[in-house]
Amino acid sequence: MNLNVNEIFYSLQGEGGRAGQASIFIRLAKCNLSCDFCDTDYERGVKMSVEEVLAKIDTYGCKWIIWTGGEPTLQLTDAIVAHFKEKGYLQAIETNGTRKVPNGIDYITCSPKQYFEKVKELIPEADELRFPIQKGDPLPDINVLPKTDRYLLSPIFDDQEIITENVAYCVELVKKNPRWALSIQVHKLIGIR
Ligand code: SF4
């Protein structure tokens, strides 16, 4: 089993419901969307066997993996997720909601960018829904989205720089729609990956 890996690094999850928790980020190359606000250079990748990935991440002493991208569901399979589970890893995924999530994932962050009405068919339930929002964007309709306990609005940054008008806009949206909560990309504010 091989993966096309863009990068692997160890840090803290900087946003969403697991913010602050130590995690190994495994960024898989390639995406099936092309968002204009994308902050990730996901195109490049190197082929690694799952054993090579395990040998690298075993050095970190942390048991939480975050599969991210790009779009990690383009590569992850039930068998790959089961293999990492057998080795004792808990696995989170950050997906754009355009494809099914493999079985065995422990924490699903679904962050739809388009095709909102299709997401629920593919991912009926998620641990969190996180939407990148800039000033003027409409609030997504909860009724057409997967079930979750966490509806999160994430103000879009300018690369690593906060855009205060996006934050202020999200704050007002949350105040008017209290089922939603604010999620800030704290890792960018504190200068970690
Ligand atoms: S879905 Fe995510 S990784 Fe893919 S282009 Fe959009 S923001 Fe970037």
pLDDT in tens, 134-178: 999 999 999 999 999 999 999 999 988 999 999 999 999 999 999
Give the CATH number, domain containing residue 80: 3.20.20.70
Q: Is the CB of 160 under 6 A from ligand 1?
A: no
Q: What average pLDDT does range 53-61 have in this prediction?
A: 97
Whole-prediction pTM: 0.95
pLDDT per position as a tens digit, 78-133:
999 999 999 999 999 999 999 999 999 999 999 998 878 889 999 999 999 999 99
Helices 78-86 and 50-57: angle between axes, nearest 10 degrees: 40
pLDDT, residue 59, reads 96
Q: How far apart are CA 124 and CA 168, in angstroms?
A: 31
CB atoms within 10 A of CB 71: 23
Number of domains within the chain: 1
CA–CA gap between residue 76 and residue 34 (Å, rounded): 20
- Establish whether residue 31 lines the binding site of ligand 1, counting it when its CB lies within 6 angstroms of any ligand atom: yes
Q: Whose CA is nearest to atom 6 of ligand 1?
A: 35
Q: Is 132 in the pocket of ligand 1 (CB under 6 A)?
A: no
- d(Cα 184, Cα 35) in Å, to the nearest integer? 19
Mean pLDDT of 37-56: 94
pLDDT number for residue 113: 87
User: Domain limits at 59?
Assistant: 2-189
- Ligand 1 lined by 35 (C-beta under 6 Å): yes
SS (H, E, C) 9-61: EEEECCCHHHCCCEEEEEEECCCCCCCCCCCCCCCCCEEEEHHHHHHHHCCCC
Burial (Cβ within 10 Å: 0-12, 13-18, ≥19) of residue 67: buried
CA 69 to chain centre: 8
